[in-house]
Structure 1
Amino acid sequence: MRRPQASALHGADGSSRRKARRIAAGLPCLALFLVLAACTGTPGPPAPGTNPAAAGTPPGAAVASSAPPATESAGTAPVHAPPAVQERLELQLDTPWAAVFLPDGTAVISERGTALLKAVRDGAATTLGKVPDVAPAGEGGLLGLALSPHFEADHSLYAYTTTREDNRVVRLTVERGADGSLTLGRPQTVFTGIPKAGTHNGGRIRFGPDGFLYVGTGDAQRREQAQDPAALGGKILRLTPDGAPAPGNPFGNAVYSLGHRNVQGLAWDEAGRLWATEFGPDVDDELNLILPGANYGWPDVTGAPHRAGFEDAKVVWPSTRESSPSGLEISGGTAYLGALRGERLWTVPLKGTDAGQPVAYFTGQYGRIRDVIRAPNGSLWMLTNGKNPDFALILRIPQ
């Protein structure tokens, strides 16, 4: 069942705001306060070098009640430089879904509907190859990508694909010739049997710091699967590079966590904790801290209802119009989430196992954001989705 829509949290009370103003008035540099206002959505001139299109947290966003309420109001959040666009790459992409970076900095991008892999070097995209046996339909097609942690030795690129029978994970080789050109090998099937449907296919894959492959799946419109630890739908899976259940998995099979509706993003913080983004139904998009064997509630609950036996989300967006969070990256203690329906970049400060108040940037400026990826040089790439042609934005982020 769906949980009733939660109300938004609005930060500190009036006395806290008055205290914040007194503190700000005593600062030796007024510019510091103006930077603070620009980062949190309070009216004020943008800091030098920041993007003036940054937008603050709308009323629809709320920190889940499982996490302590954010202690900073719009006038007292930590001072930092907001993300700013450095470059826009007009790559002429067709519904891109995911990207990874080769060791030399070349980006490889998947296109959901064409099943093509595009290689981006020096600001230009070329076709690396087409992944065979992909059957694009609805939200399915060529989806997530993951680079082997031993790529220099095995040249392996993993892809999550929709076929006529199922969703599956395949492994391909990417070889560089003497002339510097890249060639794509034929896929080798690694893991099969993930349920498919027109929607709720999941699709994000990523290698964790433990060297195992994590796979986010959807319930494939069969809600009951999400609560069944023997089913693959509505789960995060944990696999060896060859597709076997990873040692130590909590249920003795491939399943790492359950009770998910449609996992869309996976990322690890600096302490090695796994976080994931997930689509809600018409309420309660989520940012979750993933624990082995934990149950995240779908379809019985959504968000953070404090129900025994279920793990609360750390951040809940009660209105899916504000988010629909897809790709996820974590850098410098901040989670960066691309929003599809919300058409913005969300940032969420992380402190240990807690998450703070979300702040939005670029609202409505670039359309749907499908993926957010950190490049080897520390910049952040955002892939738009549905512009046709789509493009990539390179962001400068706080270090």
Structure 2
Amino acid sequence: MTGRTPPRRRDEIVQRRAVTAVLAAAALLLTAGCSSDDGAPPGADDSASPTGTAATSSASPEGSAERTPPAKGSVKVVRTVTTGLSSPWGLAPLADGDLLVSSRDEATITRVDGRTGEKTEVGEVPGVSPSGEGGLLGIALSPDYASDRMIYAYFTSASDNRIVRMVHDEGKPAGEQLGAPDTVFRGIPKGEIHNGGRIAFGPDRMLYAGTGESGDTGLSQDKESLGGKILRLTPEGEPAPGNPFPDSAVYSYGHRNVQGLAWDRKQRLFASEFGQNTWDELNAIRPGDNYGWPEAEGESDDGGFHDPVHQWSTDEASPSGIAHAEGSVWMAGLRGERLWRIPLKGTETSADPQAFLEGEYGRLRTVAAAGDGRLWLVTSNMDGRGNPKEGDDRILELQVS
């Protein structure tokens, strides 16, 4: 379902990088003189085809038509990559196939060998104050990680939720490879519940963060508050150029608790959101739009609110992480204990969502694209709300279509 907000004019998508001088020149013509590094948000023009490298494994060739995925897909568990993780939350794939995973309660980042599953502690993040749903949450690699070795992390401190960055020095001993954290953004409301926590760099090389309203529902509609929002920042933590509200990091508002962020091949941003007692949501995010909470949960007759792409009862989903692959959004369910496939045509569902792995691996926290139709999937049975089995928590490799 699409939002009922009135259509608005949007700046055309601006690419951060050009692969060749010829493409750069063509891009300048197509964007009528827009700067190639003005930070314009992706998704502003749904008809645009990206020419750069998007933050998704399913980037389409330039000029290709958007493919509608088949109504029915499939999921195959290829293997268990590793076991014995403690309260895993965030996941960041490395270029060599290894994985970085954060522990919410232990405040550590661990490197998992992508072939053998061997675990090596990278280091502990200082200043984390785990409690309730808070702790060390999402992690993301700098767009220039190959040269700057920066890991970004979203965590709950004693006073707020904040985002820091740290140098990953692989030349140091295990457990001592994280440099001192540099706080790039602070002041996000914290609580025992609804701390948000997902961070990701978008195709525009800007840093996006999903936040929660920390149990104070009034924060979601307050555009001056950072709670119940999707934020868009520069890598240095400043409000990103092109944001919808002047001098503000707020990108969209009216959210309850956002823990999933992903872009499709057309650079459109999607976000998953926990409902309260009735409806969980998958939303297509538009800059400046109001997603309704607490006045609306799920679809609404109020034309001022952007309706979800799809909604689920809370016992079927309770969604955390999402990824885009093979023309669909894949959504990890905690209480629902299943992986949802939502096939898309544009920002609408092209067929009914499908559920996979229902009850097989318990609570599912994070899903990330691995390329070639593969996904990484992280379980969350050691978070105090699951029923752990031998080997929990674990990372799975999936082949999907």
Scaled by the length of structure 2, the TM-score of the pair is 0.77
2:381 to 362, 386, 390: 386
Q: Secondary structure at the match of 2:138?
A: strand
Q: Kindly state the Cα deviation for residue 179 of structure 1 after the two structures are TM-superposed.
A: 9.8
Q: Kindly state the Cα deviation for residue 177 of structure 1 after the two structures are TM-superposed.
A: 2.4
1:78 to 70, 73, 81: 70
User: Residue type matched to 1:360 in 2?
Assistant: A
Q: Kindly state the Cα deviation for residue 378 of structure 1 after the two structures are TM-superposed.
A: 4.9
Q: How does 1:224-243 map to 2 (within 5 A)?
A: 224-243=218-237
Report the equivalent of 2:308: 313
| 1:323-368, Cα deviation, whole Å (9 max, x unpaired) | 0011100012111000000000000001112123110001001000
CA contact (8 A) 2:121 2:175 kept: no
Report the equivalent of 1:368: 363
2:106 to 100, 110, 114: 114
CA contact (8 A) 2:151 2:168 kept: yes
Report the equivalent of 1:396: 399
Distance 2:148 2:284 in 1: 31
Point out the structure with max Rg over C-alpha: 1
Indicate the percent of aligned positions where both proteins have the same amino acid. 50
Question: Quick check: which one's helix share is greater?
Answer: 1
Distance 1:179 1:80 in 2: 47
2:272 to 272, 277, 281: 277
Report the equivalent of 1:100: 92
Q: How does 1:5-44 map to 2 (within 5 A)?
A: none
Distance 2:276 2:73 in 1: 34
Q: Secondary structure at the match of 1:157?
A: strand
1:183 to 177, 182, 188: 177
CA contact (8 A) 1:380 1:397 kept: yes
Report the equivalent of 2:7: none
Q: Secondary structure at the match of 2:83?
A: strand
Report the equivalent of 2:46: none
Residues 1:358 and 2:353 aligned together: yes
User: Residue type matched to 1:142 in 2?
Assistant: L
Q: Kindly state the Cα deviation for residue 91 of structure 1 after the two structures are TM-superposed.
A: 2.5
Q: Secondary structure at the match of 1:153?
A: helix
Residues 1:337 and 2:304 aligned together: no
User: Residue type matched to 2:368 in 1?
Assistant: I
Distance 2:243 2:276 in 1: 28
| 1:52-91, Cα deviation, whole Å (9 max, x unpaired) | xxxxxxxxxxxxxxxxxxxxxxxxx936651100101343
User: Residue type matched to 1:301 in 2?
Assistant: A
Q: How does 1:254-273 map to 2 (within 5 A)?
A: 254-273=249-268
| 1:278-321, Cα deviation, whole Å (9 max, x unpaired) | 0000111000000000000000011111312110011011x200
| 1:101-132, Cα deviation, whole Å (9 max, x unpaired) | 12222200001000011100131111111100
Distance 2:143 2:372 in 1: 18
Residues 1:150 and 2:141 aligned together: no
User: Residue type matched to 2:400 in 1?
Assistant: I
Q: Kindly state the Cα deviation for residue 198 of structure 1 after the two structures are TM-superposed.
A: 0.2
CA contact (8 A) 1:110 1:116 kept: yes
Q: How does 1:200-239 map to 2 (within 5 A)?
A: 200-239=194-233
CA contact (8 A) 1:88 1:393 kept: yes
Q: How does 1:46-61 map to 2 (within 5 A)?
A: none
Report the equivalent of 2:79: 87
1:250 to 218, 240, 244: 244
Report the equivalent of 2:48: none
CA contact (8 A) 1:339 1:368 kept: yes
Distance 1:182 1:133 in 2: 16
User: Relative to structure 1, is the Cα distance of residues 179 and 95 closer, same or farther in structure 2, using a 3 angstrom cutoff?
Assistant: closer
CA contact (8 A) 2:199 2:210 kept: yes
| 1:247-286, Cα deviation, whole Å (9 max, x unpaired) | 1111110000000000010000000000000000011100
CA contact (8 A) 2:123 2:174 kept: no
CA contact (8 A) 1:214 1:237 kept: yes
The number of aligned residues is 322
2:294 to 277, 291, 299: 299
Distance 2:174 2:219 in 1: 46
User: Residue type matched to 1:312 in 2?
Assistant: D
Distance 1:220 1:382 in 2: 26
Distance 1:390 1:141 in 2: 17
Distance 1:103 1:273 in 2: 24
Gaps of at least 5 residues in structure 1 are 1-76
User: Relative to structure 1, is the Cα distance of residues 181 and 117 closer, same or farther in structure 2, using a 3 angstrom cutoff?
Assistant: closer
| 1:370-398, Cα deviation, whole Å (9 max, x unpaired) | 00012256521111002453011110122
